Chains A and B, each alone.
Chain A
Amino acid sequence: MLTARKRTKRTVAVIAAALAASLVMAGCGDGGDEAGDGKSLKLWHYEAPNSAMGIAWKQAIEEFKKSHPGVTVKVEEKGFEQIQKTASMVLNSGDAPDLMEYNKGNATTGLLSKQGLLTDLTPEVTKRGWDKPLSPGVRTTSRYDAQGVMGSGNWYGIPNYAEYTMVFYNKALFDKHHIEVPATFAEFTAALEAFRDKGVTPLASAGAEYPAHQYVYQLALSKADRSWVDAYEQYQGKPDFHDAAWTYGATTFADWVKKGYIAKSSSGAKAEDAGAAFIAGKYPMFFSGSWWFGRFTSEMKDQWGTFPFPGSQLTLGSGGNLWVVPKGAKNKELAYDFIDITMKKGIQNTLGNNGGVPVAADTSAITDPKSKALIKDFTAYADGDGLAFYPDWPVPGFYDVLVSETQKLITGSAGPDAYLDALKKAYDAGAPKG
């Protein structure tokens, strides 16, 4: 009994000591208060290290260290979800970073700017000329008005890269079935039909996520112009969901499903499934965004290429994610210097050579032919003011409506008319009045 009691006592003492030690360790090490002495730059982003942005920014950090000796750079790679969930809380505390990657859009950067949590970058933009290389379509997502609506007002973020959609195609499958890579819309539909006749579903799609409704929107865009986009995306005029463009988009998409160009079974597929199936060579074509480029480069065994969606002046796309400077940042000057470095040709070229779409690259410095085509096609869209953003942008929660309604269009449980009615209803309910 005595020994047992002694042992218990000793155990309690050990546990108590361990606890005390752990509490001391847990308490310290928060270290969030490096004052604004211009000696450290705290930078957060959420790009994978092997992505185009990850590689380019690593180089930018090296250059920054060279041009700012004595400054420590504290880079933290975050999860996308963590930044989305906690941004407003972090920026409201004393632990805000000096520079942060953040999502563009009304619900994200727009909201933070409206809450006064971001630094107005307009003076720096004019001083350092960051706006010069950016085309109007790319600029849209950098500027937010007092209501947090993008398109006008002050600059709150600077994008290093852009994104847009195109057709990815599998060269090996085109060769195997002796089908020419199409250049016009007529050739494109002919190719779809030829693949279908050989028993191959020509287009990869995914009804449970963005790919399906991006087909619909792209088809509508091929019959639309800039003012149509402005009406829909920036509330300049009232969009008509039963006009020629929308009707064409919805009916053509439904028609393609009926003809077997897009598999009916894709209604429940995720974007990841569609991309993986394209990589595995199950589909000859996949219409989606430049964000797939790096992954296809590293993982696809078959030869592949890209071409712009035929017969359309407009395509989905915008500036990429933004560098934002929190209001509570302690070393804003250093943050500006860093943004400046990322906009220089060297970093921009690295972005371009690793599968990104740089906003200010020197095309002659891009060596990979596929990347060259990617950037050339983007420049064509940008110069022609052809970036039409994404269909889910105008209204909060519209993404889910688009996904579920497009699923109905794929399965055939709703016709094109009912589909457009449903979109109109959700749009009218959510768009700002006036």
Chain B
Amino acid sequence: MNAPRGPGNALRRPGNALSRHHAPARYPVLAALIVAAALMVLPFLVVALNAVKSPADYSANGPLSLPEGIHLDGLRDFWQRVDFGRKLFNSALISGSVAVLAALLSVLNAYAIGIGRVRGRPWVLAFFVLANMLPQEALVYPVYYLSKQVGLYDTRLSVIIVFTVIQSAFGTYLLSSVLGAFPKEVIEAARIDGATKWQVLWRVVVPVSRPTIGVLLVFFFIWTWNEFLLPLVMLISNDNQTVSVALGVLQGQRLMDATMTNAAALLGVLPAFCFFLIFQRTLTRGIAMGAVK
């Protein structure tokens, strides 16, 4: 391959022998990655394509054709029909509160389990894993009756409480094992300097594990955003509903409005997608940290 030598090639000179050795292996990997990325993006593309089609266009040409023209009525109609701004606010409120509260709870739990080394630690952890594996269908009725008892049925607060507990079960499990490997010398040094347990937590442990906590925050937010079953059951009035529940309005008994469903899916995915893009660096940093340790 006698490719013209660009500045990039010149820079790589010193390692030339090595890179030449690796080059043939790189291209298949690159190709495989491109194919994989395309496969990942494809569903989003199909959704975006169909979101801007008119229903007649969709029926006539099927889901995979290019739209005949940009038809934004589906997006606009859906926005107005379900009062989407309000649903966005509800989802952001619930997901945001859950992310912060669950991360906080996870830190407190994990501090006790991972660093405090309370007795029966493996059992406590096993319990958290179990709680994490419990299917949500099993929770529906207990949660319904309990929230009715305390007058929280059909409030956003009930969903926030439930998901804070569910998410922090996972958070506790993960963070406990991370903190279990926390260098003891650092904590001992802080104690010798006269720090109380509370101070050790907030001034030593939390700042050091901030990347991991950041990852938890992002995951909790996105997971809660995508939750469907419990919000569907708990938030019955339209004013309290979340984005993912609002998408269900379009699924009719016998008919579905394919283009509007796509428009709605696009609107539903976009916020979580943007959120992910913004916090993507936090994520990679946090995960890389864990890998080095």
Contact = CB atoms under 8 A, between A and B. Distances in A.
Interface of A: 5, 8, 15, 19, 22-23, 25-27, 29-32, 46, 48-49, 76-82, 85-86, 89-90, 93-95, 103, 271-272, 275-276, 279-280, 289, 291-292, 295, 298-301, 321
A321 B253 CA distance: 10
A49 B252 contact: no
B160 A76 contact: no
B207 to A, nearest CB: 7
Contacts of B255: 272, 275, 291-292, 295
Contact of B93 (A5, A26, A77, A300): A26
A279 B240 CA distance: 38
A265 B272 CA distance: 39
A301 B58 CA distance: 12
Q: Which of A23, A82, A271 has the most CB of B within 10 A?
A: A82
A80 B93 contact: no
Nearest to A4: B207
Contact of B237 (A25, A32, A275): A32
A78 B62 CA distance: 28
B56 A299 contact: yes
B232 interface: yes
A281 B168 CA distance: 54
B97 A95 contact: no
Contacts of B245: 79, 82
A15 B100 contact: yes
B203 interface: yes
A30 B61 contact: no
A5 B203 contact: yes
B237 A27 contact: no
Interface in B228-264: 232-233, 236-240, 245, 248-258
Interface string B19-34: 0000000000000000
Contacts of B254: 271, 289, 291
A272 B96 CA distance: 38
B97 A276 contact: no
B202 to A, nearest CB: 8
Contacts of B157: 23, 26-27
A80 B58 CA distance: 23
A27 B256 CA distance: 35
Q: Across the A-B interface, give the 6 residue pairs with the lowest CB-CB distance, nearest first.
A: A79-B248, A26-B156, A279-B59, A79-B249, A26-B157, A30-B155
Interface string B132-173: 000000000000100010001111110010000000000000
Interface residues of B, number: 46
27 contacts: A8-B202, A15-B100, A19-B97, A19-B100, A23-B157, A26-B157, A32-B237, A76-B237, A77-B81, A77-B82, A78-B249, A82-B245, A82-B248, A85-B232, A86-B233, A95-B153, A272-B256, A275-B59, A279-B59, A279-B60, A291-B254, A292-B255, A295-B255, A299-B55, A299-B59, A300-B59, A321-B253
Nearest to B206: A8
Given A77-B238, A95-B153, A49 B81 contact: yes
Contacts of A23: 97, 157, 160
B55 A298 contact: yes
A377 to B, nearest CB: 19
Nearest to A296: B59
B283 interface: no
Nearest to B245: A82
B97 A22 contact: yes
A22 B90 CA distance: 10
A400 B156 CA distance: 37
A295 B202 CA distance: 61
B97 A48 contact: no
Contact of B59 (A26, A77, A280): A280
Contact of B60 (A22, A29, A95, A301): A301
B101 interface: yes
Given A26-B156, A299-B56, 18 more contacts: A26-B94, A27-B155, A29-B239, A30-B237, A30-B240, A77-B81, A78-B249, A79-B249, A81-B248, A82-B236, A95-B236, A275-B59, A276-B62, A291-B253, A291-B254, A298-B56, A299-B55, A301-B56
Interface in B199-244: 202-203, 207, 232-233, 236-240
